[in-house]
Each structure stands twice: as structure tokens, then as C-alpha cells.
Amino acid sequence: MKFLDGFTEQAYALLRIVAGLLFLAHGVQKFLNFPAPFPMPLNPMLTAAGAIELVAGTLIVIGVLTRPAAFIASGMSAVGYWVAHGTQGPFPIANGGETIVLYCFLFLFIAARGAGIWSADGAMKK
């Protein structure tokens, strides 16, 4: 689509920000039961996951330490898939794990590419 050719950086920044906000929302739900109660009690693994979701999600949105935050978020998502979903069957669409698989690869891409525009990391490079 020719008319979108000049907006690659802006589209990537929106992808990073929205992905970070959605990831952050998982941590908010775990700790604050907002906007809906978390459906199970927090065990140590869910508490660690919630902390990573809160911290990494915030860093990815702001664009601070984006590469390491996204790499950690990707790894947490991979572990979360195999612990919570992979044991329920091999297919993400059948075991409810498609969202966490998408997070895993999305954050791996962000870790490889970096923060880009509209980020504190990008502003510090200038």
C-alpha cells in the first residue's frame, strides 16, 4: 500500500506502545483485580509473572530499557505458554495459548528491533 510507505516508524511505535499497554493490563489485573477479578489465587509463579508484566509492560510503553524488558517479557511468555497452556495440548488455538504465543514472538521482535521513535531510548540517542 503505497500511501502507508512513509509511516513505518509510526506504525512500529504504535505496535510497541499498544503491546506494552496490553501486557501491563495483565499485571494490573493480577494485582489490582481491575478491570475484572483475576480468576485464581496468586501463587509464586503468577506473582512473578504479574511483576514482569507490570514492570516490562511499563518500560516497553515508555521506551526505557526496551530491548532487555522485551526480551524478558518474551521469555516469560514462552515459559507461561508451556506451563499453563502447552500441557493442555499441542495446538495454541485449542489450548487457549494463542495470545501468549503472540506476545512471545511480538516481544522477541521488539527486543531485536529496539524502541524506535516515541520512546525515551530513542530520545536519549539524539
Full DSSP string of 60-101? HHHTSSHHHHHHHHHHHHHHHIIIIIGGG-S-HHHHT-HHHH
Q: What is the pLDDT along the chain (126 residues), one digit of tens a residue?
A: 677 789 999 999 999 999 999 999 999 999 999 999 999 999 999 999 999 999 999 999 999 999 999 999 999 999 999 999 999 999 999 999 999 999 999 999 999 999 999 999 989 887
* 2 part of a folded domain: no
Long-range contact set of residues 120-123: C-beta below 8 Å, sequence gap at least 24 = 120/62, 120/63, 120/64, 121/63, 121/64, 121/65, 121/66, 122/63
- Based on the structure, what is the number of domains in the chain? 1
* 3 part of a folded domain: no
* 4 part of a folded domain: no
Whole-model pTM over 0.85 = yes
Cell of 65: 530499557
Domain enclosing residue 59, as ranges: 12-125
* 6 part of a folded domain: no
